[in-house]
Chain A
Amino acid sequence: MLSNRDDYKAEKVSKGSLPWQMALFTAILTAAGIFSLLLEKPTTSEKEQRELAKMPSLTWQSWFDGSFAKEFDAFYADTFPMRDLLVSFSSSMKESLGVRYDDVRILGSAEAPVDLPDPPSRPEPVSRPESSQSQDSSSSAVSSQSSQPEGSSSSSEPPAQEDDIGVNNSGIFIYKGMGMSLFGGNASVGRVYAENINAYHQVFGDSVRIFDMVVPTSAEFYLPEKYKKLSNSEKDAIQGIYSHLAAGVTGVDAYSAIAAHTDEYLYFNTDHHWTGRGAYYAYTAFAQAAGFQPLDIGTDYTIRKIENFLGSLYRQTQDSKMLERGDYVEYFIPAVEASASIVFKNQPYAQSPWTVWAEGVSGGNGYLVFLCGDAPMIQIDTGVHNGKSIVIVKESYGNAFAPFLIPHYEHIYVVDERHFQTSLVEFIQKNGVNDLLFLNNAFSAMTGYHANNLQKLMYQVYVPPVEEPEEESQAESSQEEEEPKWRGVRTEEDDEDEDDE
């Protein structure tokens, strides 16, 4: 064993051996580290529309069960200095890894972050419409961490089952700047969906007219011929569902109405929703089924526009062609007056004033102009005193649709199947509803999570949350202001969009 003295000698020989490379390397890493600790940490990300991971608290428990390390990893990555810049840079790098033949780009399902408003496995019967629950961003980093043979971590993971994921998304297809989710529907789920609707007919018999309208999405019409087979036929899927509907339930043929107008602006380029105009043609199909005369889109509405809309598909892919193409949101205001009220999450028995058109939204929030987004229940009371009322059970596709019914019903109850917290059957009986419309896009009708929700809704009992004080206060504050909390985000996001362009 060498003594310290000998070691000193050895060091002396190599004195002055620190090359500038090492100094630079260490200095850069150290500087990044110091900045990452000293700079103020953001708490939300406008680009992603979510709350960033928070600094976890260090306790014996959190250290020893490993959760501190995991959460700190997520927190650190989420709040890294210049993260937005790095993220944009990496997306544009990923875009330049090859060539864009036919102006086509596909982002496989692995790259499309799977999102569910509420994971089906959540134990509580309640859901959170507005809380942007930050998903565990470290999980991707950890699971892709290693294929080191020994743990064989990445290879031994069980293949994901579509039903577990809950979204039939086989990837995102981008053609000439238009993003489309590829449809991977599953017929057996569609059957469950239809049967769950039939159950409502069994309860109400002929006292309530029941309609089901399954709406195709953009991939059905706008995939170039060569690539058609990448997406399963939504037409077949919809027909499959309708074939399982009971005799007393009317399947509304929105498909043909939309298909006749595909040269118009019916779907967004950068978002997975339909446009107001797309919803209009579905409305004409519904009018026919329900037996009333629809308004004329050319003459009967005040048409307004929100420019510079960039939606979810852009947020997911940050694709430059999509950014170039962009979107605007058109909305159609009928002459009939209407007022709205809302039921917030976890306050199922209280109603607060709301708005049918959230005209102040902009940027990434453009689609929120319709009813100002999703809520457990939004009630629209109209100036049509015909005594008719309708319940629309929907996901977000229903938001653009519901306002078209204003000239035809005195009361419109827009129920979000994911967030509604009390018994839908009781709700319909209590309000003496005449018509019940289930409106879903083909993806959600074919997704187990949504199909099962319809059954769950029938007789569910509201259970107040045990402890979620923070969210309660958020709901209250937004109630007081009569404004959704994303309003505050607006101006900053505007600026960002301008920067992008």
Chain B
Amino acid sequence: MVFSNLIFLCLFLPANILLYYLTRNPAWRNGVLIFFSLFFYAWGEPVWVTLLIFSATIDYFHGRLCEKYTGRWQAKAALVSSLVLNLGLLGVFKYSGMAVESLNALTGLSLPVPTFSLPIGISFYTFQTISYVVDVYRGQVRAQQSYWRFFMYVSMYPQLVAGPIVRYKEVAAQIDSRHTDREDFVKGISRFCAGLGKKVLIANLAGDFASQYLDGDLSALTTAGAWFGILMFTLQIYFDFSGYSDMAIGLARLFGFHYMENFHYPYISQSVSEFWRRWHISLGSFFRDYVYIPLGGNRTHTFRNLLVVWFLTGLWHGASWNFVLWGLYFGLLIFLEKQFLQKILQRLPRVLRHLYLLFAVTISWSLFYFTDLSRLWTFLQTLFGAQGAGLWDIQLEVELLNHLFWLIAAVIGCMPILPWAKEKWKLLQKPRWAPFFENGVGMAWNLLVLFLCAAFLAGQSYNPFLYFRF
């Protein structure tokens, strides 16, 4: 199931909230969360829910073994076993097709290519359980004694299928005991509605544009059209992904969990290094803590370490070589920034630093978008006017004008203007009724967004049948 869906909004979520708050019994509440999480997952993935259960179960035991045998070889064996099993599952289900295809291409063999359908969220939950076992092994957190509580941690539906990658140690206390206060409810609702709006009102429309301009015949694409298409994808992927994280954080908060931020206005960064501290923070920090630093980090073999980390980061995003290319591209830029680029950038005016980052990121999304490398090459040529159907196109002009207000809103949404305005508002001298006003406006805004999303979601199903069309 996904959040941006009428069934989720009108059936699943209210049922989940009502049942959860039916009693104060923590076992009941945990049970409700587990039940709804399994249902949520099984709605789209009725078979591979078994894999989720398997993964959670083995790592529950791995964690306990690591703790029981701290400092002895058995703990290390449990750690290795966990890594082998988790990465093995990921390898089989996600990468086996790519590996065999590449092998065939390299050696000229024609081995049968396995075609597993990728179980939803496997990349996210395997990383969660890996982080748990490693942290227990390192003694950074106590192992969870209760199987069901651990299972709840792994299966929690808010972050299950698209992150953030929540570390066990961050929520360990809340798993054992949590309560939801006023602020949690109010902020949770706002956060959820904001995320839903980002996804439904911006990302989906931007996605329509991106596919309209990028999926067609590239030789008919103009340079302006190419830039517009890739900028639309730039908007889409940010609003989609960060909207999903917002919804996850908001939902979790309704049940008393506090997740770390996953996106922090990445497009306002002034360097690639900064961008990756603001973009998909839970993934970047995972690779930092579990790969980069153990390899030696900045102290030894920096280049090799960066190469490994960014190769893996790219590969994590999908089983296709273009993602590896995308990762290495970022690795290279970060390496260059560490070497000398950062120093040059510092001397440039701020606006140029922003432009540098936006340019670098937009180009990276082309690498990300085109899984077919020959299409990618054609697209890049179009982007720089080396081929294609001219520079400007009139259809784009009309579509820009037809969506002008929406575009402005989307661009503003990438910048921290709302938090800035809130800060300013806080500093103002306000009458006594201000809090009521704030609450009222906040909630009215949430409900408006919710209503708009419901209308757009219903609109998606609008599908006139033109039986006599041509």
Q: Which residues of A line the B interface, CB within 8 A?
A: 1-2, 4, 6-8, 10-11, 13-14, 17-19, 21-22, 24-26, 28-30, 32-33, 36-37, 47-50, 63-66, 69, 72-74, 76-78, 80, 83, 86-87, 89-91, 93-94, 96-102, 104-106, 108-111, 113, 115-117, 129-130, 132-135, 137-138, 140-141, 144-152, 154-157, 159-160, 162, 167, 171, 226-227, 229-230, 272, 312, 315-316, 367-368, 373-374, 395-397, 441, 443-444, 447, 450
Residue B134 CB within 8 A of the other chain: no
What CA separation (Å) do A312 and B463 show in the bound complex? 11
Q: How far is the CB of A137 from chain B (nearest CB, A)?
A: 4
Indicate if the CB atoms of A149 and B459 lie closer than 8 Å: no
Q: Chain A residues near B43: list those with CB within 8 A.
A: 69
When the two chains form their complex, are residues B215 and A115 in contact, meaning their CB atoms are under 8 A apart? no
Give me 11 A-to-B residue pairs in the complex whose CB atoms sit less than 8 angstroms apart, sorted by A's number.
Answer: A19-B185, A21-B185, A48-B465, A83-B458, A87-B458, A97-B402, A108-B212, A111-B208, A150-B317, A156-B371, A450-B470
A167 to B469, CA, bound (A): 10
Q: Taking A19-B185, A22-B186, A97-B405 as contacts, is the C-beta distance between A147 and B240 under 8 angstroms? A: yes
B320 x A117 contact (CB < 8 A): no
- For B, the interface residue count at a CB cutoff of 8 angstroms equals 106
Evaluate contact between A113 and B464: CB separation under 8 angstroms: yes
Set of chain B residues within 8 Å of A171, measured between Cβ atoms: 395
Are B465 and A149 touching (Cβ within 8 A)? no
Quick check: A396 and B469 within 8 Å, CB to CB?
yes
Q: Bound state CA distance, A146 and B439, in angstroms? A: 32
Q: Is the CB of B466 within 8 A of A73?
A: no
With A33-B10, A272-B469 as contacts: A25 and B44 at CB distance below 8 Å: no
CB contact between B467 and one of A49, A104, A160 (< 8 Å): that residue: A49
Contacts A64-B46, A152-B371; A48 near B462 (Cβ below 8 A): yes
B13: which A residues are within 8 A, CB to CB?
A: 29
Complex contact B5–A100 (CB within 8 A): no
Q: Which residues of B contact A138 (CB under 8 A)?
A: 461
Cβ-defined partner of B401 (8 Å) among A11, A100, A226: A100
> Taking the complex as formed, is B323 at the interface, i.e. its CB lies under 8 A from any CB of chain A?
yes
Q: Using Cβ atoms and an 8 Å threshold, which residues of chain B touch A91?
A: 459, 462
Q: Which of B186, B318, B403 contacts A151 (CB 8 A)?
A: B318
> At the interface, yes or no: B223 with Cβ under 8 Å from chain A?
no
**Smallest CB-CB A-B distances: 4 pairs:** A90-B459, A50-B465, A98-B404, A86-B458
Verify A226–B10 contact, CB threshold 8 A.
no
How far, in whole Å, are A133 and B465 apart by their CA atoms in the complex?
8
Within the assembled complex, what's the spacing in Å between the Cα atoms of A13 and B461?
46
A42, chain B: closest CB distance, angstroms: 13
A223 → B minimal CB distance (Å): 11
B177 on the interface (CB 8 Å rule)?
yes
Residue of B nearest to A32 (CB): B10
In contact, A77 and B458 (Cβ under 8 angstroms)? yes
Pick from A26, A154, A167: contact of B18, CB below 8 A.
A26
Given contacts A87-B459, A151-B120, A156-B320, 20 further A-B contacts (CB under 8 A): A7-B24, A14-B180, A18-B185, A29-B13, A36-B10, A66-B44, A87-B455, A91-B459, A97-B402, A99-B401, A100-B402, A101-B401, A106-B399, A113-B464, A134-B463, A148-B244, A149-B237, A159-B215, A160-B215, A396-B468
B265 at the interface (CB under 8 A from A): no
Closest-CB distance, B386 to chain A (whole angstroms):
20
Q: How far is the CA of A10 from the CA of B177 in the complex (A)?
A: 8
B224-259 to A contact mask, C-beta < 8 Å, 1/0: 000000000100110011001000000000100000
Cα distance, A18 to B179, chains bound together (Å): 11
Q: In the complex, which of the residues A37, A48, A69, A230 contacts B46, with contact meaning CB atoms closer than 8 Å? A: A69
Question: Chain B 188-224, CB within 8 Å of chain A: the 1/0 string?
Answer: 0100000000000001100111011001110000000
Q: Are A167 and B470 in contact (CB under 8 A)?
A: yes
Closest A residue to B177 by CB, please name it.
Answer: A2
Q: Which of B294-312 contact A (CB under 8 A)?
A: none
Q: How far is the CA of A77 from the CA of B398 in the complex (A)?
A: 31
> Is B333 an interface position by the 8 A CB rule?
no
Contact B318 A36 (CB under 8 A): no
Q: Are the C-beta atoms of A30 and B461 separated by less than 8 Å?
A: no
